[in-house]
Every structure is written in C-alpha cells, then in structure tokens.
Amino acid sequence: MGIGNFMPETFAPQQAMGGLGIAYGEFLTGNIKNPALLSKNKNTIFDAAAGARYVWMEDNNRAQTDFGANVDYFSLTLSISKRWSTAFGLMPYTQMNFRTRNVEPVEGTPFEVEYRSQSIGGINTLFWAHGVQLTKSLSVGVRGNYMFGALESETQSMVYTADRDYQVVYYNRLNPKGWAVTPGVFWNKEIGKKRNLNIGATYTYRNQLNTNRFESIERRSEVGATITVDTLYEGEVGTIVLPNRWALGVSLEEPTKWMIGAELSMEKWSDYRFLDKNSHFNNTMEVAVGGVYTPNFRSVDNFFERISYRVGVNYRQLPYELGGNRVEEFGINFGMSMPVGVSPVRFTYLHWNLSLGQRGTVEKNGLQERFVQLGIGVSMNDLMWFKRPKYD
C-alpha cells in the first residue's frame, strides 16, 4: 500500500481485549478510540506504552523471522470540568521496517552483483480529543488528528569485482502530512441496580495527505562513503487519500467488576489513492469480542483480587489480495492491569498484554505470517494535578 502496516488506535488495556474501546471505557485509564468516553475520566491521567513483535514468515519455498520493538503512544488526559475532559498525545498510524537481500551473477563475467532493499519510517498521529457528558446517559466527543511522517526506501546495487567493490544507491523519501477528524457518541442505560448496557459509535473522516518527495542516486565506495550524489526530484508529487472508517460497539458491564463486549468496524478502501493513483483495493471489515474481570476492585488484603484480567479475539480483512485470494488476520489477546501504586490521591496501573495471531495462509495466499506481540503500558492517575485546593 506504500505507507506501511497500520497500528491500532487503542491503548494497552483495550489491546488486551481484542481492541475493544468503542462502547467501553474505564475511569482510571485513558481511551481515545471513542473520544466520547473521555467524559468518564475525572482525574489527570498519563498513559504510555511500548511493544515488541516477533514474526515467522513462510511461503512454499522458504521461511524467515523478524523482530521489532517500538513506542506505542504517549497521552495526557485532563479533566476540564465535571462533564468535560480532554486528551492529547502522540501515537503511530503506520510503521514500515523491512529489508531484502539478493545476490546474482553478472552474465558473461566472473563477478557478482548484490541487491539490497530496505524501507523504514511511517506516519505518526498527533491527536487532541475532547469528551463531554450531555446527560446522565449520553456523551459526545471529537478527536482531531494531525498526521505527518517520513516514508524512506533505499535500493542498493553492489558490484563485486577483482579490484574493488562499489555501490549504486537509489534513495526515495516521501513526507505526507494532513488532517483527520473522528467524532464519537456513547450511550448507556442502567439494567437493574448493578449492570449497564453501553452502545458507542465513531466515524473517521480522513482528508488528503499532501505529499512531498525527494529522490536521488548516489555512488558509494566499498566502505559506504559517498562519492557522488545526483538529485532526481524534490517537491510535491500528489496526495494520499486514506479511507473513511465507521465503527459500532456494544457492551454489558457491572462497573469495576466485569464487562463483555463486541465491536464491528468497516473501512472503504475502494476510495484509497496513493499519489493520486487508484488502488483497486477491497473494502474491509473488522470484528472484535472481548471482556475484563476484576475479582474485587476494593480488596485491601489480596493484591490479586484487585488485578483486572482481560481477554479478547479479533478478526480482520486486509484490503489487498495475495494468490488471488483475500488476506485475513486472526488474533487471540490476553492481558492484565495491575495496581502498583495507590494513595488517597494517586493511582498507578501497570498493563501487560500478549497477542498471538496469524495473517494469511500458504494454501490460499502463498505467504503466511505468525506473530507474537508483547506490550507493556502504564496509567498514572492524580486527583490533584492542575486543580486548585479549596483549603490552604
């Protein structure tokens, strides 16, 4: 698709439940997937997370592995009033990181040429979200996203001769930037004395990303020192049009005790354009089912009863085809949120999540990926940050 693999727009607790975050939020952790749920956050909350991913890839002829780690997000949530909260932060929208290598003989000579290709970078999202509680049962919100980044690719041709080696390098960098807007709504209704029925929905309208390109050809020595550089192009080359997305979620909960929920989302990839060119991609669907259970949120003498245990499964279609068949992904997710620091005005939770999944199959697509992903996050709450004390 030219812009890398898409990253989840969820925080660590939601990732452990298969990505649920449209119709369920917690007051001690942030949630920007549905900005309307920010109205649940009455404290100042700092959220951050990092993750690592190990991938096994195979086709009909060979197999290989890959490993990568990255920072997932930073976010700060502030309570403006009893009914209004806001959050801002940074998280990746796409990431790209792969390398290939191939060696071939030069026809008619005893020499060889080595081809190396690599692509790195991605698109980041700088977000600012607001959530407002209009009534006891209804909240609305909106998230603004400024999207920017660098997508770099490099192709090297290295000729091995009897006297010396040299490289010819083609370098291409794209710098997209633009805006996207996500409004959201959340509604809940009490069922009996302890349970709530929750329904949420979001719609993401993604504008065009204006894109600049820099292209060059370099000649380098055998040790990588640049000999000559020729700039091929520098300037605007067109736009990247991202698909619109809508999502609907429903959950049933007993607050601070348990929750089960499901979500459905769809993206219109038939509208995707890369540098003003049609993509011929398919529209996609994603389904997630998950839940959380906390034995006793207020337990004083049993640490394990205060831990929130999470589980979820997710299925999604990817917009492209391999081997004439659609590529599909399935994942199983586990996690827990552990209270690691509690005082009358401060609460800190450590989040762990583990995901096991598969993308594509050798039989249908000619290529298969199996992956293990481990994430760790933190939510630091403070009741008194940015609040003026009533008594001195």
Is residue 204 assigned to a domain? yes
Is residue 388 assigned to a domain? no
Domain that holds residue 267: 5-382
**Per-residue model confidence as pLDDT tens for the chain (392 residues):** 578 888 889 999 999 999 999 999 998 899 999 999 999 999 999 999 999 999 999 988 888 888 888 899 999 999 999 999 999 999 999 998 877 777 877 777 777 788 888 889 999 999 999 999 999 999 999 999 999 999 999 988 877 666 666 788 899 999 999 999 999 999 999 998 889 999 999 999 877 899 999 999 988 777 777 888 899 999 988 899 999 999 999 999 999 999 999 999 999 998 888 888 887 889 999 999 999 999 998 888 899 999 999 999 999 999 988 988 999 999 999 999 999 876 767 889 999 999 999 999 999 998 999 999 999 999 999 876 655 555 55
- 162-198 burial, b at 16+ Cβ within 10 Å, e below that, comes to eeeeebebebbbbbbebebebbbbbbbeeeeeeebeb
Whole-angstrom distance, CA of residue 122 vs CA of residue 120: 7
Whether the Cβ atoms of residue 72 and residue 12 lie closer than 8 Å to each other? yes
Q: Which of 236, 320, 328, 233 has the alpha carbon at shortest distance from 2?
A: 320
HSE at residue 77, side-chain half, CA atoms within 13 A, is 33
Is residue 26 assigned to a domain? yes
Q: Which helix (H) or strand (E) holds 248?
A: strand 245-254
Is residue 392 assigned to a domain? no
Is residue 389 assigned to a domain? no
What is the bridge-based pairing of β-strands 208-221 and 84-105? unpaired
Is residue 87 assigned to a domain? yes
Q: Mention every residue, 6+ apart, whose C-beta is less than 8 A from residue 115.
A: 100, 101, 102, 103, 104, 155, 156, 157, 158
CA angle 221, 225, 227 (to 5 degrees): 70
Is residue 139 assigned to a domain? yes
**φ and ψ of 330, to 5 deg:** -135, 140
pTM of the model: 0.88
Token digits of residue 249: 């979620």
How many distinct structural domains can be found in the chain?
1
Is residue 102 assigned to a domain? yes
What is the CATH number for 86?
Answer: 2.40.160.60
